[in-house]
């Protein structure tokens, strides 16, 4: 019997309990980027813009693989109700896929570094961006290793492990930035390159920490511990069947935002610097939505596998409510404190003014960004990734990018126009994705 359960304190509490460590870990990752930008920004707006475009193209190359691995935690969680051997096989298959993804992504990044000129940035930005990107490229290997073991830990409801790894790495990253960017404690002053070295070391620390945690935790058992690796093709195919469309979803969205950064660089160096600041602040609040989305994905993965369809619907509605409430509060803070927030990253008055105006748009669009992130997570928990990938393709590539280019490059709106294009995509994606979740979950419930 279909019931209306839009607010359930018990479900909300379980989502917060499971998702809070994920949120903290995600926030830690974004704070690394914010710390990098704040410290690099003190060197000038050109290094800030160079770091922004470099990290943008880095995530263009890595986001597909991130999306592929992201969905594995739900598959691992779903196996917890079955035999231990099935869980072990799924974990081993996910680690095997991680190796393939890491090698492929690393090659793509090397090609991007070599052909960086295709992004047509100014010569000043390009001169600083390429050496920095060369260093950050090497950090992709430990980053994927970290994400792979994060899926293993999250799939066992051990979400605090990634949080601890990330927060420790954040402290390490800030300390290394202070040493290597500015030449403290007798080290050479590396400037922007110092931020690259700090990122590489910090991501390596995260990977080693979480790998050792998973290997030695008694709840997590898999053959890699004793090097008796058994990989079943059926599980590799199963994970790729949901992982590849999930990777497509991430790629379509992030590449649209990356495209917006590239367009911003075409408009001007200060515009790119402003975009870098505003998008990093928006990413900070998005991490809450992403963390709760992962919690919802794990919970839905368990109930969907157990055919508890009413519970699945209730989890989805409460996940959406929780995300919407937080994003509403964040939107108010964005508008009220926009000048103070962007002022932490640069002293350039033009950059501050542009970024502050973008924060008003961010207040509106991040509400829908949170809703689409939550809906995507819920659908991944239901192993529904193919149709959502078509929705994201339409929203971000058919709508967002052409409109962002048209309004940004051929109207007086410029950066405002670029962000209008992104906002439209988020509104469309969030409405269609949430509708699909409701449709699939209600279909299984007797009326």
Tens-place pLDDT, residues 110-169: 999 999 999 988 899 999 999 999 999 999 999 999 998 998 888 888 889 999 999 999
pLDDT of residue 447: 61
pLDDT attached to residue 267: 94
The domain limits of the chain are 9-443
pLDDT value of position 226? 46
- For residue 2, the model assigns a pLDDT of 52
Mark out the alpha helices in 42-159 (DSSP H runs): 45-70, 72-78, 84-114, 123-138, 140-155
pTM of the model: 0.79
Positions in the chain whose pLDDT score sits under 70: 1-5, 80-85, 221-230, 447
The pLDDT score that the predictor gives to residue 208 is 96
What distance in Å separates the CA atoms of residue 442 and residue 384, rounded to the nearest whole number? 14
Question: What is the reported pLDDT for 81?
Answer: 55
How far, in Å, CA of 387 to CA of 249, rounded? Answer: 10
Measuring CA to CA, which residue among 258, 276, 293, 251 is closest to residue 359?
276
What single DSSP character describes residue 445?
A: S
């Amino acid at each position: 019997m279909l019931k209306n359960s839009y607010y359930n304190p018990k479900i909300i509490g379980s989502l917060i309990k499971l998702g809070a460590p994920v949120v903290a870990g995600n926030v830690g990752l974004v704070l690394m980027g914010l710390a990098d930008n704040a410290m690099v920004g003190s060197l000038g707006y050109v290094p800030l813009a160079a770091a922004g475009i470099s990290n943008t193209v880095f995530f263009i190359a890595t986001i597909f693989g991130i999306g592929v691995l992201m969905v594995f935690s739900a598959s691992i969680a779903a196996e917890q109700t079955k035999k231990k051997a099935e869980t072990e096989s799924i974990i081993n298959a996910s680690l095997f896929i991680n190796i393939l993804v890491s090698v492929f992504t690393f090659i793509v990044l090397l090609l991007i570094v070599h052909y960086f000129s295709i992004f047509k940035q100014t010569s000043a930005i390009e001169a600083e961006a390429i050496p920095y990107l060369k260093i950050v490229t090497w950090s992709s290997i430990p980053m994927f290793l970290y994400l792979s073991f994060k899926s293993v830990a999250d799939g066992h409801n051990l979400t605090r492990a990634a949080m601890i790894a990330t927060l420790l790495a954040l402290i390490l990253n800030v300390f290394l930035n202070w040493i290597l960017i500015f030449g403290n404690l007798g080290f050479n002053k590396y400037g922007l390159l110092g931020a690259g070295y700090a990122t590489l070391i910090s991501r390596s620390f995260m990977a080693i920490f979480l790998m050792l945690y998973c290997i030695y935790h008694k709840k997590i058992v898999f053959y890699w511990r004793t090097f008796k690796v058994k990989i079943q093709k059926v599980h590799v195919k199963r994970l790729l069947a949901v992982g590849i469309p999930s990777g497509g979803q991430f790629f379509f969205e992030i590449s649209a935002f990356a495209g917006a950064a590239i367009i911003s660089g075409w408009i001007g160096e200060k515009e790119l610097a402003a975009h870098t600041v505003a998008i990093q602040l928006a990413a900070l609040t998005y991490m809450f939505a992403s963390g709760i989305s992962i919690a919802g994905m794990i919970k839905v993965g368990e109930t969907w596998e157990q055919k508890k369809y009413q519970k699945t619907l209730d989890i989805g509605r409460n996940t959406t409510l929780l995300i919407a409430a937080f994003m509403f509060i964040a939107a108010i803070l964005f508008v009220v404190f926009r000048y103070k927030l962007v002022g932490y990253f640069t002293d350039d008055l033009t950059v501050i003014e542009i970024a502050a105006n973008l924060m008003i748009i961010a207040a509106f669009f991040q509400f829908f960004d949170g809703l689409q992130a939550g809906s995507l997570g819920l659908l991944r928990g239901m192993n529904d990734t193919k149709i959502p990938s078509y929705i994201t393709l339409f929203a971000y590539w058919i709508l967002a990018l052409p409109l962002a280019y048209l309004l940004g490059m051929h109207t007086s709106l410029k950066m405002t126009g670029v962000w209008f294009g992104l906002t439209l995509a988020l509104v469309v994606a969030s409405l269609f994705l949430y509708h699909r979740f409701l449709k699939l979950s209600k279909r299984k419930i007797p009326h």
